[in-house]
Chains A and B, each alone.
Chain A
Amino acid sequence: MNAFFSYLVHGISVGCGFALVASGIIIVYRVTRVVNLAQGMFSVVAGFAAATLLGVGLPHGVAELAAIATAALVGFLTGCVAIGKPGTNPQASLIATLGVGVFAYAVEVLTWGDQPRSFSGLSGSYDLWGIDVPKQYLLITLVTLVVFGALEAFFERTYAGKALSACASNPYAARLQGIGVVRMGLYGFALGGALGGVAGVLLTPVQPISYDSDVPLFVNGFASAILAGLKRPVLGLLGGLVLGIAESMVAGYAKASYQSSLALLLTLAILIVQATRREALHAVEE
């Protein structure tokens, strides 16, 4: 039973990381209709940047925030490439984000080398009701909850958030209201970059990252986003938690190498069922 709870705790914290990546994917997708294949890269950049900044002596907190800001900037630049040119259709943008992700490989290997890196987060653990909870896991969960709370407030309470939502639901009507759709898309990318960055600085102490860690991060983030129906960023939290806990249980009770295949198969199944149902609805309407 104790093993179960430790898998659960691990699953929740990993799931929070997935959820942050997923919310970035969802926001960019909602505002621009582009699935950002470079989303995992933002976390890698932030993780590397935080490791470097801590290495030169910046205190914890400052280094992580600077790394997140870097990721936001990288997100903005990715957006410029993906949707900056007028008339780029979503498929071309998708491939452009793929290109940005590959370009980031070159920059990352040039700057940080091709070996995995990590830095120390919070060490030690709490004993909660007889369950051993590492402090870093707790930090991941708390920060994620705060971030999602802030996201919800941002989209519900601020003008910028509402403008982003407006672009997401109807770009044409949004433009008529004087909202710059492309500019909003770029803000979406920057926000996606920041969210990926948060995931990166939180997860790197738990799991060392290397330049190609972006593939599993993207895959799990996208899987969580699909579980959430690619709709509201907050639902991404639910998707991430479900996936994180499921993978942690599979890794714990079956075999660690099955966990990513499980996530992929689950996502494929959901995608296919959704597409088939959509087609069926379509046929009924006709």
Chain B
Amino acid sequence: MTRVQAGPWAVAILAGVAMAAATVLDESALSVYVLLALTASVTVGVTLLMGHAGQVSLGHGAFYAAGAYAAGLLAKHGFPSWIALLVAPIAAAGLAAAVGIPLLVLRGHHLAFATLALHLIFLSLISELSITGGDVGLQAIPPLSFAGVTLSSVRSYAYLSAGALVLVVVLARNLLVSRPGRALRALSSSEVAAASSGVAVGYYKLAVFALSAGFAGLAGGIYAFYMGYLAPGSFPVMLSIEYIVMAAVGGLGKVSGAVAGSALVFLLVHGLSRVSTLSGMPGTAPIILSYAVYAVLLVSAVLFLPGGLVALLLSRWERPSPRSQRPAPPPSEAKPSDPATEGVTSKHGSFS
């Protein structure tokens, strides 16, 4: 039997590693860590959508922005900040459900265009409306507080975003191993066949679209409190494309791949941009390098590694050749070490 998703142990290890990292990293690393955890949470939703519902979304940055603006607006207008954070995923999911009803009759490149259009329209809306502060955006969003405790340190947001990531991974995983998950897999291979087997295709497509938008909204809500200000410029179209790159690198449809792919791509781009600012290169060097990395990873993942770069690395790990008994761990902090594959490795070892 082929495993569809990593087991509960993988989730437990991810949770452990995520929390441990939030505890031990220093301040400057934590600021990267928070953004990474938030990005990974969105990517999990994108991979669900692309890998299991067969929908290409070029607009998930808009749902991230929707969550952020919902949380920021409520918090600024005097609502308790934890309520604002709870509303963020609901608002994003609600937006997705509302636009999804007309949009999801579209497929393939039409849907890709429609979601790109959604992102562009959303951007022009938030930079036009006075309630969202126009191009200036929302300033001075109060920090998150709950029951008298105010989250003000970077570390507290690291714990919060790690918690959000674990929650998102658990939800996605549970969804995929459940009956709706089987329905989703059925409809991603053939909508007609799935429909004729009694799968409510339209309902499931809409539900997974809303769920993945909800993940993005949750991450966006945390982002709003973490940054303290929001502007349309923080949510460029490129943001939506970055999630696709990460999902593709992780292998479409794989929850653990989405987390590992986000970590790999995010840390690579971040590391390169840090290097390029150090060595006296021109001011445009960071954006040149990040665009080049995103592009090369995206094209090579789509054309040559449909299972994702992470799957390739894991399979190397799974079958160590005699020449390399101690294979190098996946580069950077690609976290989720799948216990299933670890088990296979040790079994291999005992047989040989």
Contacts and interface: CB of A to CB of B under 8 A. Distances in A.
A246 B248 CA distance: 38
Contacts of A34: 109
A58 interface: no
Interface string A246-274: 00000000000110110011011001100
A65 interface: no
A92 B107 CA distance: 14
Interface in A38-92: 81, 85, 88, 90-92
Interface stretch (A96-104, A163-171, A237-245): A96-104
B106 A272 contact: yes
Nearest to A215: B237
A109 interface: yes
A106 interface: yes
A279 B107 CA distance: 12
B109 A219 contact: no
Given A264-B120, A272-B105, A94 B295 contact: no
Given A102-B291, A260-B120, A268 B103 contact: yes
Contacts of A7: none
A275 B294 CA distance: 32
B313 interface: no
Contact of A106 (B58, B112, B288, B303): B288
A257 B114 contact: no
Q: Which of B107, B124, B244 has the most CB of A within 10 A?
A: B124
6 contacts: A85-B304, A94-B109, A99-B298, A106-B287, A267-B117, A271-B110
Contacts of B35: none
B320 interface: no
B102 A272 contact: yes
Contacts of B25: none
B303 A88 contact: yes
A187 interface: no
B116 interface: yes
Of the four ranges (under 10, 10 to 19, 20 to 34, 35 or more), the interface on chain A belongs to 35 or more
A276 B104 CA distance: 10
Interface in B249-300: 284, 287-289, 291-292, 294-296, 298-299
A35 B284 contact: no
A132 interface: no
Interface in A91-137: 91-92, 94-96, 98-103, 105-106, 109-110, 113-114
A99 B295 contact: yes
Given A94-B112, A271-B110, A81 B287 contact: no
Nearest to B238: A102
B56 interface: yes
Interface of A: 34-35, 37, 81, 85, 88, 90-92, 94-96, 98-103, 105-106, 109-110, 113-114, 215, 219, 222, 257-258, 260-261, 264-265, 267-268, 271-272, 275-276, 279
Given A261-B120, A275-B110, A102 B241 contact: yes
A215 B298 contact: no
B108 interface: yes
A102 B298 contact: yes
A115 to B, nearest CB: 10
B193 to A, nearest CB: 14
Nearest to A29: B109
B284 A94 contact: no
B248 to A, nearest CB: 7
A265 B121 contact: yes
B86 interface: no
A106 B109 contact: no
B204 interface: no
Given A81-B303, A94-B108, A215-B237, 12 more contacts: A37-B112, A81-B299, A88-B303, A94-B56, A96-B298, A98-B58, A98-B241, A99-B302, A105-B295, A219-B117, A271-B114, A272-B103
Contacts of A114: 284, 287
Contacts of A279: 105
Contacts of B291: 102-103, 105-106, 109
A106 B120 contact: no
